[in-house]
Structure 1
Amino acid sequence: MAKDMTVMTPERQEKAVEMTNSQENQPYLYPQQPGQPSQPAQLGQPAAAYPSPAFPGNQPQPPKKPQGTTICGIIGLIFGLLGFVLSFIPIINNLAAILGVIGVILALVGIIGTFRGKKKGKVLSIVAAAFSVLAIVITFSMQAAAGKALDDLSGAGSADAGSASSQQSSSKAAKPSESKQAGTQDLEGDLKSAHVKIVSAVRSDKDYNGMPTVLVTCQWKNNTDKNNSFMIIVNAQAFQQGQALDTAIYTSNPAGYDANSALAEVQPGATGTATIGYVLSDDSAVSVELTDQFSLDDSLKVSHTFKL
């Protein structure tokens, strides 16, 4: 049997070409989203682009707030304060310098953390760094002054050795009251590097810890050939029942107390006044002793016992 065949006339071919061209010129319509009104596509205009979905990573993130206060700054402040307090005490201020160095390192770590916005406490870290640096500077200054005092004492010792023979020859003729007394002297006397006098020892205000204190006042004369301070050349101690008393630290200066008086330098031959506070352990009498700061022989001293 002969198969039916559709004969393509010229009119049908022309219509097929027109339909193909019209389909190529129409824009592509994206699928309609649920809940959106349908919009008819207009010929000759591009279809609206389908919006891209919003992902969490494309949204702007708010700036992170600092989390808590810097721990390094707090610890650095504690080390700096301890070093600052201990830097005024001879020998012990070696530990103060170490605390100051550790405090500076911790304070710098805290400052860097606050600048990066991770922690709070920028001012605290800066204060910690300041106290730590002061502890180091004061420690080195005290040790330099102590070294200078040792040099003065060594020079005075050589001079005393040169005049020892002349003093021995005249000591037999001199009266005991006119010669330089060796041993314990009451209230006033001469040390190797200073002439000292214990003026008074009276009750004073409570210290920072609420403990009772006694305020000791001394007058002294610089017998060295260089500028010196009372604390550098004189070792002042107070005792109760044979036990040494701790140095008092005041939150506010009581009447008659000058915190800088023991550190103030005077010229050779000049006199000065030093006030030192001590923490009382009970109501018993207080014995005050003054000796040379850097001397292995404490037999030459000035002392007196005060009843409070």
Structure 2
Amino acid sequence: MERNTTAAEGRDREQGRPHITICGIIAIVFGALGLVLSFIPIINNIAAIFGFIGAVLAIIALVGTFRGKRSGKALSVVAAVLCVLSIVITLAVQSAASKALDDSVKESKGVDTSQSASGSGNGDSSKNKTSGEQDTEGDIEGAHVKIVSAAASGADYNGAATVLVTYEWTNKTTKNNSFSSLAHPQVFQNGKSLDIAMYTQSPEGYDANSYLAEVQPGATATVTLGYVLQDQSPVTVDVTALMSMDDATKVVHTFDLQ
């Protein structure tokens, strides 16, 4: 009789004890998987997802344990730490991989990866260093660029009015390169980028091959590109480095077409 009473009391205490948190167990599984995958580029995109889901579950588990409804507070804390680590490591690895890829592409083109673009000296150099914008002429990664002119030109194949922009650039890399492989020229009108013009008859001064023509290191060449106009309002020419992660360094100038 006494043995039965003791067994019954044990069952009652066991029934009154909070169960271990399921969310915490799932969170620690997600956190562990995320941490392992976070070191592998590309695949670690999944690690970030695992880490985020696991972190949410870990928070739910922690709330439950602090309220006394579930046991496993230490488990939940460990799960939260693993999930946060998986997210942080994923971001760090992706950043490092992106920079390594960027440097590899630049090196294949002969661009000095330690080079930092600076102003050409035309105008206030301290302002150029702060904003990264250089008026009319300046340096971008791998090239020195000068925006020579932007003038209304002939109609494109569709009969639309165009503007012909002339660039002068110097190859500052150690290999043969074209303007198209180093620079990203754009023209904006009314805040919108303009489409490249395609001509059935080349207007005066237009060289269709200049954009893709390669030049040797240290050589200077002229490039002409046509853009389809929206109207006759001013246009802003904007040139940045093609493979740069810093679009703040640019050469810009606004031209009045009137």
TM-score range, shorter chain: 0.5 to 0.7
Which protein has greater RCO, CA pairs closer than 8 Å, 6+ apart?
2
1:265 is aligned to: 214
1:109 is aligned to: none
CA offsets 1:112-145 (integer angstroms, 9 cap, x no match): xxxxxxxxxxxxxxxxxxxxxxxxxxxxxxxxxx
1:229 is aligned to: 178
1:156 to 109, 112, 135: 112
**In 2, Cα distance between equivalents of 1:216 and 1:202:** 7
Q: 1:212 to 1:195 in 2, by over 3 A?
A: same
> What percentage of residue pairs aligned between the two structures are identical?
53
**In 2, Cα distance between equivalents of 1:296 and 1:306:** 27
Structure 2's unaligned 5+ residue stretches are 1-102, 119-123
Shift, 1:259, TM fit: 0.1
Q: 1:208 to 1:293 in 2, by over 3 A?
A: same
Are positions 1:190 and 2:145 aligned together? no
Q: Alignment partner of 2:112: what SS?
A: helix
User: Do the aligned residues in 2 keep the contact of 1:221 with 1:272 (CA within 8 Å)?
Assistant: yes
**In 1, Cα distance between equivalents of 2:135 and 2:201:** 32
Q: Alignment partner of 2:115: what SS?
A: helix
Superposition RMSD on alpha carbons, in Å? 2.7
Are positions 1:207 and 2:156 aligned together? yes
**In 2, Cα distance between equivalents of 1:226 and 1:252:** 33
- TM-score for both structures, normalised by structure 2: 0.53
Q: 1:210 to 1:268 in 2, by over 3 A?
A: same
- TM-score for both structures, normalised by structure 1: 0.45
CA offsets 1:220-278 (integer angstroms, 9 cap, x no match): 00000000001110110000011000000000110000000111110001100000000
User: Do the aligned residues in 2 keep the contact of 1:194 with 1:221 (CA within 8 Å)?
Assistant: yes
Q: Alignment partner of 1:294: what SS?
A: coil
CA offsets 1:192-222 (integer angstroms, 9 cap, x no match): 1100000000000000001000000000000
**In 2, Cα distance between equivalents of 1:148 and 1:275:** 29
Shift, 1:296, TM fit: 1.9
**In 1, Cα distance between equivalents of 2:127 and 2:173:** 20
User: Do the aligned residues in 2 keep the contact of 1:152 with 1:224 (CA within 8 Å)?
Assistant: no
**In 2, Cα distance between equivalents of 1:148 and 1:203:** 40
Structure 1 segment 54-65 matched on structure 2, within 5 A = none
Q: Which amino acid aligns with 1:188?
A: E
**In 1, Cα distance between equivalents of 2:110 and 2:210:** 25
Shift, 1:156, TM fit: 1.4
Q: 1:178 to 1:299 in 2, by over 3 A?
A: closer
Structure 1's unaligned 5+ residue stretches are 1-146, 162-166, 168-175
Q: Which amino acid aligns with 2:115?
A: D
**In 1, Cα distance between equivalents of 2:251 and 2:127:** 16
User: Do the aligned residues in 2 keep the contact of 1:149 with 1:232 (CA within 8 Å)?
Assistant: no
Q: Alignment partner of 1:260: what SS?
A: coil
Are positions 1:249 and 2:198 aligned together? yes
Q: 1:220 to 1:238 in 2, by over 3 A?
A: same
User: Do the aligned residues in 1 keep the contact of 2:152 with 2:162 (CA within 8 Å)?
Assistant: yes
**Greater strand share, 1 or 2?**
2
**In 2, Cα distance between equivalents of 1:192 and 1:179:** 19
Q: Which has the larger radius of gyration?
A: 1
1:144 is aligned to: none
User: Do the aligned residues in 1 keep the contact of 2:180 with 2:212 (CA within 8 Å)?
Assistant: yes
Q: Alignment partner of 2:205: what SS?
A: coil
